[in-house]
Structure 1
Amino acid sequence: MLTALSIRDIVLIEALDLDFRSGLGALTGETGAGKSILLDALGLALGMRADSGLVRNGAAQAVVTASFDLPNDHATAELLHENGLSAEQGEPLVIRRIIKADGGSRATVNDQAASASFLKELAPHLVEIHGQHDDRGLLNPRGHRALLDVFGRIDTAAATAAHREWRSAEDRLAGAIAELETAARDREWLEHAVAELTALGAEAGEEATLAAARADMQKGARLAEDLSAVSAHLDGSDGGAAQLRQAARRLDRIAAEHPLLADALAALDRAVIEASEAEDKLAAAHDALSFDPVRLDDAETRLFELRAMARKHRVEPDALADLALELTERLGRIESGGQGIARLEAEVTATRAAYDAATAELTVARTAAAMRLDAAVASELAPLKLDAARFRTTVAPLAEAQWGPAGRDRVEFEISTNPGAPFAPLIKIASGGELSRFILALKVALAEEGGACTMIFDEIDRGVGGAVASAIGERLARLSARAQLLVVTHSPQVAARADAHWLIAKSHDGIVTRTGVTVLDADERREEIARMLSGAAVTDEARAQAARLLEAA
């Protein structure tokens, strides 16, 4: 609930600090005393457009601070978390709005910077303002379905989930159809590309292998004469290797004759081994660098084909194998696309049927809840002197384009103010006094089903008196048992029902006019109610009547 409101330099209010409590609070005062200023100030804290004209003449800025005491599980806790703002459990929610006289404004929530749009998002969870000129809240048809759902305790979770699945299936189907149409346009190209790539049969790493083999063969062609000459020196019975072996065998017969001969033999043995290794290496090199014009031509032709195909498809040669697989799969999807589309169409049909079933249940539940709400409102109309009026909750189908997570129903509150008169939206046919009483009757009927923690009724009793004003006061008092209520009123019957009473009055010191607010004690309350009964001159009869009203309350 709203626990405190601090105002600095708003219009005629220089400095004002108000503390509030639960129950019904009445704000009274003569016309023009400045009651609307209080509501404007609170509106600023709730995200209303910042108007520099609200800054008191001569002041540099205006400041409004509103404090709320909320339960830990209040909806605002999640909103604060989603917007990166913190709130300590058990601590009040403090909203501050500053408006500069030269334009511009800023806001904080618990001393953390916040935008005006975020304040507007918080506002419905904190305060409801109802009055005959209110074109939001209960008078806005866009919110009627949600109000009926809350009243009827209707759970829309199943419909929301079914709607999500249905739309998701439709999106998948649309995507598959678009892909199939695009692929179908490319079918001829795909068939040719797949055939071409399949015929080529490229393998990963093939280009590097061919390039290395071609390079070796080209080297072999260049080194063939030298390799042959070297082999001639080593190979054959007269070659160097054979001569070393012969020398080693002959030296072996006389090596025992002297140590130096033995050393020479050892050296020859090593030379023979090295020569043999050289022969093996030369043979291997000859094989590796063997020059075959046919093989070289084949390698160069294959390389040309691989690289040409890679340029054509704008990929690296090593990627041709993967590309062939990818295009083959795309072609396969085209050929089997009809089956996939049929499967997705079946999914859309099934999920649509699930949504239809879930929303049909919502419609039944809303229709039943509408009948209960109509009866509840009807029971409130006679005491408010709206005997001839009728109220109904219309539950009608929406166009398919408007179906959504909350169902397929349009819900609107309508009234007929006279017998035989057609039903129409509240705001279009009710007079100011009737409209305010309809709002009260509807709010009383909906009250047990929750809402903001604080409700403000702005002159909802205007244009009525006597028994009707008493009935209004009784219903406001009933509402205040479930939520904090503040009422701006000119009715003594309503003011007498209040648990707390504030008097709003202007004062003038000859230079500056100011608006002030005074908390009234029991005697002051009786005097103010007497003034409301009799006018400027308060009579003893008015005081006696005021006392009777207070006692009856």
Structure 2
Amino acid sequence: MLTRITIRDFAIIDSLDIELSEGLSVITGETGAGKSIVLDGLGLCLGDRADTSMVPTDAARSEVTVAFDVTNNPQAQRWLSAEALDDEDQCLIRRVIHQNGRSQGSINGRPVTRSQLESLGSLLVGIHGQHAHQQLLKPTTQRRTLDNYAGHDEALQTIKVIYGHLQSVIAEIEQLGGGDDQEDRKALLRYQLEELDASALSEAAYAELNQEQKRLASAGELIECCQHVLDSLYDSDTAAHSLLANAQRQLAPHETSDPAIAEANELFANAMVQTQEACQQLRHFADGLEIDPQRLSEVDAKLSQLNDLARKHQTEPDQLEQVADTLRGTLEALESADTRLAELNAQKTQLTQEYLTASARLSKSREEAAKHLSAEVNKLLSELGMPGAALFIRVIHNPNATPSIHGQDEVHFDVCTNPDQTPGPIQRVASGGELSRIGLAIEVATARTAEIPCLIFDEADSGIGGAIAEVVGTKLRLLAQHHQVICITHLAQVAAQGHTQLQVDKQHQQGHTQTRMRLLNDNERLEEIARMLGGVEITPATRDHAKEMLKRAE
């Protein structure tokens, strides 16, 4: 609830610091005294746009601070916690407007944006004026008002759970893809894999084929070269092997003459052995060589095919086998996705049916609640001096509508203010005074289930008087059993119903005008009620009437 309002240099308010209590608090005062300015200051803290015209010319800035106790407001507590702005059960909101147009806002001492103030404000206070019931005119609020009145939390939770599961399934289906594009991609992958599996070689096999091509391409040249080497080293009479053998025979008798000769002769012997082994290996290689143009053509064709495949897949020929493995993994993933997609689509069908069933059940509950709420409001409207007025709550169910967390209903609050009038949207049909009373009737009818703990009525009694004014006052007092209610009023019948009364007056001192607000004690309150009844001249009879009204209210 709202516990304190502190204002400094705002419009014609120099300084104001007022504490507020539970129940019904009425704010009274002469016309033009500045009662609504206090609400304008409160509105700034609730996210209204800043207006530099409200900053006095002799002040550097305007400052408004409001304090709330959110002990019994779980919605506000959750919001504050989610925004990391919580401070136990207290909520202190401050707004500053500078002469240069700059404004600042803070919640519990931490800077916030105007959007954050507006978001939190909608959970703290509902302001109802002649011309705009800020929240009630919104379709979302109309639906929520009906749902709160119906009390079908379990049905709403069921919808919420099913909707959450359904959205998760739909998101996964979209992530996995599907459709014609997916099938085309799989067909391409299969074709590419068939081509690669038929032709691609491992890195080692490609290296071996490449080596074979080089061998076949130079076979004649290699055979000729090998034969020439064998002739010069082993086969001819002047071959190196023969020369080494002759040198060894000549040096053998002289080995004892000097160790150097023996050592040299041993090296020649080793050279003979190595030359013989090398020539045998070379001969074996040359004997295995053959000039095979057909095989060379086959190998060239294979290498050309591998190079073409490598260019197609933008890789090297020796990497084609790895490319095939990668494509195979992709295809397997897509094919397994088909299995998962089939499962998901089955889940989607089942969840959709569950959602439709739950949505229809919720809609029936709303329709039933709409009948009862309309009846209660219409009874109250009659008591509030609008006997020909009626509220019509339309619940339009569309099973083909896109699922939402709130079901598939549109909820509309339509009204007619005269028996022969066609019902229409509440914001278009009702006048300012009528709208105030309709809003009050809805608030009273939904008092036990309404979410906002603090309700402010700015001249909700506009355009009424007499017995109806007293009814309005009693309804506001009844509403205060479940909410903190603050009401600005010009009517004594309404003011007398308040648990506490605040007076706003305007003072003129040394050419300076300022507004002040103060809490009235019992005697002061009696005088204020009498003033509201009798005008300029307050007679004993007027005071007795005021006393009787206050006593009757108690």
Range with greater deviation from structure 2 (135-144 or 174-183): 174-183
Range with greater deviation from structure 2 (489-498 or 267-276): 267-276
1:124 to 118, 122, 125: 122
- Measured in 2, the distance between the counterparts of 1:277 and 1:376 equals 117
**1:452 maps to 2:482:** no
- Measured in 2, the distance between the counterparts of 1:46 and 1:222 equals 97
RMSD: 4.6
1:10 corresponds to: 10
Range with greater deviation from structure 2 (361-370 or 293-302): 293-302
Cα contact 2:23–2:483 (8 A) shared by 1: yes
Cα deviations by residue, 1:427-475 (Å, 9 ceiling, x for unpaired): 3333433322221111111111131222111111122233322222222
1:90 corresponds to: 88
Report deviation, 1:129: 0.7
Aligned length: 549
- State the SS of the aligned residue for 1:30: coil
- Measured in 1, the distance between the counterparts of 2:215 and 2:72 equals 81
- Measured in 2, the distance between the counterparts of 1:75 and 1:216 equals 85
1:369 corresponds to: 369
Cα contact 2:133–2:439 (8 A) shared by 1: no
2:19 corresponds to: 19
Matched residue type, 1:18: I
Cα contact 2:45–2:66 (8 A) shared by 1: yes
In the alignment, structure 1 segments of 5+ residues that lack a partner are none
Range with greater deviation from structure 2 (39-48 or 55-64): 55-64
Q: For 1:159-308, what aligned pairs fall within 5 Å after superposition?
A: 159-163=159-163, 179-180=179-180, 190=188, 194=192, 197=195, 200-205=198-203, 210-211=209-210, 214=213, 227-231=226-230, 295-308=295-308
Report deviation, 1:366: 0.8
1:107 to 66, 82, 105: 105
Q: For 1:478-517, what aligned pairs fall within 5 Å after superposition?
A: 478-517=478-517
Matched residue type, 1:547: K
Cα deviations by residue, 1:8-51 (Å, 9 ceiling, x for unpaired): 22211223222223222221111111122111111111111222
- Measured in 2, the distance between the counterparts of 1:275 and 1:110 equals 98
Range with greater deviation from structure 2 (171-180 or 404-413): 171-180
- State the SS of the aligned residue for 1:90: coil
- State the SS of the aligned residue for 1:303: helix
- Measured in 2, the distance between the counterparts of 1:352 and 1:419 equals 43
Range with greater deviation from structure 2 (41-50 or 100-109): 100-109
Matched residue type, 1:123: G
1:147 corresponds to: 145
- Measured in 2, the distance between the counterparts of 1:267 and 1:315 equals 52
In the alignment, structure 2 segments of 5+ residues that lack a partner are none
Matched residue type, 2:12: L
Cα contact 1:107–1:115 (8 A) shared by 2: yes
2:550 corresponds to: 550
- Measured in 1, the distance between the counterparts of 2:213 and 2:492 equals 109
- Measured in 1, the distance between the counterparts of 2:344 and 2:9 equals 64
Q: Percent identity?
A: 34
2:434 corresponds to: 434
- Measured in 1, the distance between the counterparts of 2:80 and 2:277 equals 83
Range with greater deviation from structure 2 (388-397 or 323-332): 323-332
Report deviation, 1:362: 0.9
Range with greater deviation from structure 2 (226-235 or 40-49): 226-235
- State the SS of the aligned residue for 2:447: helix
- State the SS of the aligned residue for 2:463: coil
- Measured in 2, the distance between the counterparts of 1:16 and 1:177 equals 63
- Measured in 2, the distance between the counterparts of 1:214 and 1:515 equals 105
- Measured in 1, the distance between the counterparts of 2:214 and 2:157 equals 71
Q: For 1:305-454, what aligned pairs fall within 5 Å after superposition?
A: 305-314=305-314, 317=317, 349-398=349-398, 400-401=400-401, 404-454=404-454
The alpha-carbon distance between structure 1 residues 348 and 265, as it changes in their structure 2 partners (threshold 3 A), is same
Report deviation, 1:393: 2.0
Range with greater deviation from structure 2 (29-38 or 534-543): 534-543
Matched residue type, 2:148: V
Matched residue type, 1:506: K
Report deviation, 1:261: 10
Cα contact 1:183–1:330 (8 A) shared by 2: no
1:54 corresponds to: 54
Report deviation, 1:370: 1.5
Cα contact 1:398–1:408 (8 A) shared by 2: yes
Range with greater deviation from structure 2 (364-373 or 323-332): 323-332
Report deviation, 1:395: 1.6
Q: For 1:69-88, what aligned pairs fall within 5 Å after superposition?
A: 69-71=69-71, 74-82=74-82, 85-88=83-86
Range with greater deviation from structure 2 (495-504 or 67-76): 67-76
1:133 corresponds to: 131
- State the SS of the aligned residue for 1:138: coil
Matched residue type, 1:451: E
Report deviation, 1:525: 1.8
The alpha-carbon distance between structure 1 residues 360 and 211, as it changes in their structure 2 partners (threshold 3 A), is same
Range with greater deviation from structure 2 (467-476 or 234-243): 234-243
Cα contact 1:130–1:455 (8 A) shared by 2: yes
Cα deviations by residue, 1:339-379 (Å, 9 ceiling, x for unpaired): 99998876665444333211111111111212232233244
The alpha-carbon distance between structure 1 residues 479 and 140, as it changes in their structure 2 partners (threshold 3 A), is same
- State the SS of the aligned residue for 1:462: coil
